[in-house]
Structure 1
Amino acid sequence: MVVCSPGRFPSAIRLWPCGIRTAITLCRGDSTLRLALILVLVAGAARSEVPTPVTDADYMPVSQAEARLGQLLFYDPILSGNRNIACATCHHPRFATSDGLSLGIGEGGIGLGPDRKPNPANPPEQRIPRNATALFNLGAREFTILFHDGRIEADPSRPSGLRSPLEDDMVMGFASVLSAQTMFPVLSPDEMAGHYQENDVSTAVREGLITGPGGAWSLLAERVGAIPEYKAMFDAAYPEIAAGRPIAFTDLSNAIAAFIAFEWRADRSAFDAMLRGGPPLPELAREGMDLFYGEAGCAACHSGRFQTDHGFHAMGEPQIGPGKAERFESHSRDVGRMRVTNREEDAFAFRTPSLRNVTATGPWGHDGAWSDLSAFLTHHSDPSVGLAGYDRGLAVLPSLDVAKSDWEILDTPDEVGAIEAAAVPGRPLNPAEVAAIIAFLESLRDQGAIDGRLGIPQSVPSGLPIDR
């Protein structure tokens, strides 16, 4: 049994017996005592089941009229405050629905992917604090919680059916969690809204006007609805709009969700073919699969048909960039799930990503700190080695003149200690095992899904330029 110092939470003690990762954490605040018990399989404790094949029943149905409308909206910069950024700017098929950067540049940037850089005429205020997540299979029914910290999730007990930071102000009409997640980027000054007084949307956001007449969502819906081609497509997709109901922001988001669900369904990989009775995987990939579902313990978290348990785990990842802080906060910390739940046991825990097309979606980690998949897996398998050996050259960060150092957390021993103390122990992988697991992960690649089914449109109804 090993007793580990908890670092950031000075009254905590963690006990790790052999065979099962069991963490008993006692955290004393001013006058409170909190007991958290976490049980997960340790590497080698048990073999996980290889999943059954994905079927059509695993996905929500998609309207083609909605998907084709959503395709145009996804690539149209009209949804950004300054009409200069589209959803596709940070989630582009050229970069497997991400942007190829550790931390992206939204408002104030020019260019695409790793070539994106600050606009000298209107530079960004900061980097986007987290890595742009991939969009594969988000139309599957099991994806009921999204974002690295899970801040949007299905909740049937609420009138809207959703739990989100808007709480009681959450409007009705979002068809799914996937639809609701579109509301965040368009409201973020650093992502799509723009900064205060640059445009009507950013001004509304700054003044707290999100929903209702004159709110940011209404302004965007009115922009789109004023374009005849869009209005005709909304009429065709939604009979109630054709009958006279005004276009709402939820209609825009529902169409975008339909497009994402249709465009990036990924279940035609070599692994899927094998599960359906097709050719076996190459030898090295088979070795990696045996490790993944066996001794290496990867499937303890990366389980199920899409290789995710949709849970949250602290894996001791290096924290780079501005962190997840409010404007009035001065730190560069990102405590992950704890920011949503306010529970200390969730500190530095982030959602388990699906591994479909993962070999194409780097850089990896919640903040994209790793541009080398081998290095990432080596650290990920054994967080106990700590962060001292992290190579900062693995971060893909365009030059940006900002007040906060990208390395503030890594340069602060107490902050590093807190991240390391929260991490669950792992089973170290040797280089040959890492290579085998990467070969297996490559078998999860569905190139047709990466390329997309509808593709990039030739033009969009607003007439604005498209990121290609």
Structure 2
Amino acid sequence: MPVDPAKAELGRLLFYDKILSGNRNISCGSCHHPRHGTSDGLSLGLGEGGQGLGRSRISDNGTNRVQKRVPRNAPALWNLGATSINVLMHDGRISVDPIYGNGFNTPAEEWLPQGLTSVLAAQALFPMTSSVEMAGNVGENAVIGATRDRIDLAWPIIAKRVRGVAGYGDRFIASFDHISAPEEVQITDIAEALAQFMVQDFTSYDSPFDAHLAGDTDALTDQQKAGGDLFFGSAGCSGCHAGPLFSDQQFYALGLPAFGPGRGRRFDPYARDVGRMGESDNLSDAYRFRTPMLRNVELTAPYGHNGAFPTLDRMIRHHLNPVESRAGWSPSDLQLPDVPWLAATDFIVQQDRFEMARQARARDIYLRQDLTDQDIAALVAFLTGLTGANARAEVSYVPTSVPSGLAVDMATP
């Protein structure tokens, strides 16, 4: 995806501006921060009603408090502009597809606005309409109220907010050829700017592994090379983690421990996460999740669609023996912000033995069972060789202020 620097820099401001949220209290960058590998460092994050960044994020109190944890781990944003990507989200609910006239298959179906130029731009619209992420709770603001009437009714409200800020109107006119006045700014333009920023700042192909491929024989350590031999060879990792992005973009059941509010289908009776089946309604897709891309994976702990494992070592060991790993897992493995009023339901799904049995049976991973501790350490070392130099140096910068005048979430040194 080609980048227009003017649009990307406009997108930077929007990415960190809380004006895009219903209550003007959370930005995209609150949960996808470069100081946390473009994620948030949490197993399950706190969206609407939270304050602070990363592992320091807590819930507000009183009427503004968090009502529900974000159901899934905040995915990292690296390389999402790659032309080979045609599906996004853990369950693939955002995809390129001509089934609808707008060119994308999304939860908005035909209500998704026309004119979006990439699946990344399409995806950027949906956190704004999620009550637990950015929209807020029913009765709190016009955005969530409009979303509950029909999802596409919320986006014009947000676009009107943005174009009403003088600093944004001028920037859109300067950045987009088809915009000659602030009142012409639409939600699709906002989505395009956000996508341009993410591609500009979060494209990463400057790792030691890339240098190794280019002929630098000293770019990887001997241990990393040994891990690479296992990864692409007998350990079988590259069967799913394939290609330049280290993902086949397909969906698999890993049998991860279950907890949290989950993301089920509309009429699921309790907290569970059915994975890809929630999008496809195909029973064979139950508990399957999209293969994560592995570039910069070192920076994006914890791991799994729900952040169940704190380290790469633990995630690899789970692949080798999911039954043993699941049995030995403990809630103490989690990075889960303390929210006392949610604690009673955080693990309620584990009380359903039938659901636990269904999830345990759904498993697509059968790797070598005889990898040694030395082999696993080599695999972890290889994965650290996929960390880009710019990502490691955290060169993507956060603006200290935004045109709306709202506070910007800044990480402490």
TM-score by length of 1: 0.84
5 Å matches for 1:397-436?
A: 397-400=336-339, 401-402=341-342, 405-424=345-364, 425-428=366-369, 429-436=371-378
Structure 1 segments (4+ residues) deviating >3 Å? 325-330, 450-454
Question: Aligned partners of 1:374 and 1:143: how far apart in 2?
Answer: 27
Give the equivalent residue in structure 1 for 2:384.
442
Give the equivalent residue in structure 2 for 1:48.
none
Deviation at residue 279 of structure 1 after TM alignment:
3.1
Deviation at residue 76 of structure 1 after TM alignment:
0.5
Larger radius of gyration: 1
Give the equivalent residue in structure 1 for 2:187.
249
Matched to 1:92, the amino acid is: H
5 Å matches for 1:254-333?
A: 254-280=192-218, 281-325=220-264, 329-333=268-272
SS in 1 for 2:315: helix
CA-atom RMSD in angstroms: 1.6
Question: Aligned partners of 2:225 and 2:40: how far apart in 1?
Answer: 30
Q: Is 2:157 the counterpart of 1:219?
A: yes
For residues 28-54 of structure 1, give each alpha carbon's deviation from its aligned partner in whole angstroms, at most 9, with x where no partner exists. xxxxxxxxxxxxxxxxxxxxxxxxxxx
Kept in 2: contact 1:187–1:193 (CA 8 A): yes
Give the equivalent residue in structure 2 for 1:347.
286
Question: Aligned partners of 1:271 and 1:315: how far apart in 2?
Answer: 26
Kept in 1: contact 2:163–2:183 (CA 8 A): no
Deviation at residue 270 of structure 1 after TM alignment:
0.2
- Percent identity between the two aligned chains: 44
**Which segments of 5 or more consecutive residues in structure 1 lack a partner in the other structure?**
1-59
Question: Aligned partners of 1:69 and 1:427: how far apart in 2?
Answer: 48
For residues 48-70 of structure 1, give each alpha carbon's deviation from its aligned partner in whole angstroms, at most 9, with x where no partner exists. xxxxxxxxxxxx11111110000
Give the equivalent residue in structure 1 for 2:57.
116
SS in 1 for 2:289: strand
Kept in 1: contact 2:204–2:295 (CA 8 A): yes
Q: Which has the higher strand share?
A: 1
Question: Aligned partners of 1:409 and 1:279: how far apart in 2?
Answer: 50
Matched to 1:165, the amino acid is: P
Kept in 2: contact 1:105–1:127 (CA 8 A): yes
5 Å matches for 1:361-380?
A: 361-380=300-319
Matched to 2:192, the amino acid is: N
5 Å matches for 1:126-165?
A: 126-165=68-107
SS in 1 for 2:47: coil
SS in 1 for 2:327: coil
Kept in 1: contact 2:264–2:275 (CA 8 A): no
For residues 317-347 of structure 1, give each alpha carbon's deviation from its aligned partner in whole angstroms, at most 9, with x where no partner exists. 1121011136864411111001111111111
Matched to 2:161, the amino acid is: R
5 Å matches for 1:188-207?
A: 188-207=130-149
Kept in 2: contact 1:263–1:452 (CA 8 A): no
Deviation at residue 80 of structure 1 after TM alignment:
0.5
CA 1:403–1:444 in 2, change beyond 3 Å: closer, same or farther? closer
Give the equivalent residue in structure 1 for 2:407.
465
CA 1:451–1:67 in 2, change beyond 3 Å: closer, same or farther? farther
Matched to 1:415, the amino acid is: E
Kept in 2: contact 1:241–1:247 (CA 8 A): yes
Q: Which has the higher helix share?
A: 2
Question: Aligned partners of 1:145 and 1:419: how far apart in 2?
Answer: 24
Question: Aligned partners of 1:139 and 1:377: how far apart in 2?
Answer: 27
Q: What is the count of residue pairs matched by the alignment?
A: 405
Give the equivalent residue in structure 2 for 1:75.
16
Question: Aligned partners of 1:92 and 1:119: how far apart in 2?
Answer: 20
Question: Aligned partners of 2:395 and 2:121: how far apart in 1?
Answer: 19
Give the equivalent residue in structure 1 for 2:120.
178
Q: Is 2:31 the counterpart of 1:90?
A: yes
Deviation at residue 246 of structure 1 after TM alignment:
1.3
Matched to 2:251, the amino acid is: F
**Which segments of 5 or more consecutive residues in structure 2 lack a partner in the other structure?**
none
CA 1:390–1:379 in 2, change beyond 3 Å: closer, same or farther? same
Give the equivalent residue in structure 2 for 1:4.
none
Give the equivalent residue in structure 2 for 1:396.
335
Kept in 2: contact 1:384–1:423 (CA 8 A): no
CA 1:334–1:293 in 2, change beyond 3 Å: closer, same or farther? same
Matched to 1:173, the amino acid is: G
Deviation at residue 86 of structure 1 after TM alignment:
0.4
Kept in 2: contact 1:103–1:130 (CA 8 A): yes
Deviation at residue 434 of structure 1 after TM alignment:
1.2
Give the equivalent residue in structure 2 for 1:107.
48
TM-score by length of 2: 0.94
Question: Aligned partners of 1:458 and 1:403: how far apart in 2?
Answer: 35
CA 1:460–1:243 in 2, change beyond 3 Å: closer, same or farther? closer
SS in 2 for 1:153: strand
Matched to 2:280, the amino acid is: T
Question: Aligned partners of 1:262 and 1:408: how far apart in 2?
Answer: 41
Deviation at residue 458 of structure 1 after TM alignment:
2.2
Matched to 1:357, the amino acid is: N
| More moved, 456-465 vs 404-413 | 404-413
Question: Aligned partners of 2:37 and 2:182: how far apart in 1?
Answer: 39
Question: Aligned partners of 2:280 and 2:173: how far apart in 1?
Answer: 40
